[in-house]
Copies of this chain bind each other. A is one copy, B any other.
Amino acid sequence: MYYGAIEAGGTKFVCAVSNDQFDIIDRVSIATTVPDETLDQVFTFFDEYSLKSIGIGSFGPIDVNKNSSTYGHVTTTPKPGWRNFDFLGAIKKRYHIPVAWTTDVNAAAYGEYKRGNAKNSESCLYLTVGTGIGGGAVVNGRVLEGYGHPEMGHLFVRLHPDDTYQGFCPYHENCLEGLAAGPAIEARYGKKGDQLEKEDHVWKMEAHYLAQGIANYTLTLRPEKVVLGGGVMKQKQLLPLIRSEYRNLMKEYVSTPDLEDYIVAPGLKDNAGITGCLLLAAEECEA
């Protein structure tokens, strides 16, 4: 018997199965097209295994409120076919086993908390900075959800005094995501981030916004570890700049571990999400 995991992204699905020790024994990557087509391939993969449970970490927004009539659905995504799709229901209909259901970033937070760079911490925040910005967290031993899941990327932040870019968020224009996700970098400078590696001012601006987000998350949640993943964070020069901006902003007002141990890269690298899904599958089995 195995655990199954689905890290459902807007571009690709990663599915995996593991043994009880969470060693991944098989995995597959599937393009995210329309639900029927994508799930057909998911089923083909999992049908080969006898599964105890499945953990899903999904792109969003999704409904995670167990008291809601649309619990388990993808909600207001612009992605064709996925809006209002009963994702959890489709998986449960195929496999009559326990299924854990949360966001991709909550799954990644849980993976880092149990097996990654937050494994000796009692709480953690996971932030992905890529085409969007999303955050998940583990609080009191469980992923952070409430009436819905966190939407940390949409935090309202102060503008950098030198920034004239208006932001690309269709809801809030210049929220954190609108100013600091990958598309904002490209729109502001006319080039993608990986073509701007040597431009210090680009990364200082980026660090200004991300540090402000991390400061506000810290004041609200007081996590023991902040793990930063996603495509934009592949720029290695960014992490020390974020720590430095954070230090200037917070003025040591609240205690944290040393910043080098507090604001860190993912210990599981690109496997944080899928590992978290496997661990949540195991938890769901025990629940």
Contacts from A to B (Cβ < 8 Å):
61, 67, 122-123, 135, 139-142, 144-152, 154-159, 171-172, 212, 215-217, 219-224, 249-251, 253-257
Bound state CA distance, A123 and B139, in angstroms?
A: 12
Contact of A220 with B253 at beta-carbon distance under 8 Å, contacts A142-B140, A147-B123, A156-B212 already known: no
Assess the B158–A146 pair: CB atoms within 8 A.
Answer: no
Assess the A220–B222 pair: CB atoms within 8 A.
Answer: no
Assess the A172–B222 pair: CB atoms within 8 A.
Answer: no
Bound state CA distance, A154 and B158, in angstroms?
A: 14
Assess the B220–A150 pair: CB atoms within 8 A.
Answer: yes
Q: Give the secondary structure class of A's interface.
A: loop
Assess the A224–B152 pair: CB atoms within 8 A.
Answer: no
Chain B residue nearest to A148 (CB atoms) is: B222
**Contacts of A123 on B, CB cut-off 8 Å?**
146-147
Contact of A253 with B171 at beta-carbon distance under 8 Å, contacts A149-B222, A216-B156, A220-B152 already known: yes
Q: What 4 A-B pairs have minimum CB-CB distances, sorted nearest first?
A: A146-B222, A123-B146, A140-B140, A147-B224
Chain B residue nearest to A158 (CB atoms) is: B158
Bound state CA distance, A256 and B156, in angstroms?
A: 18
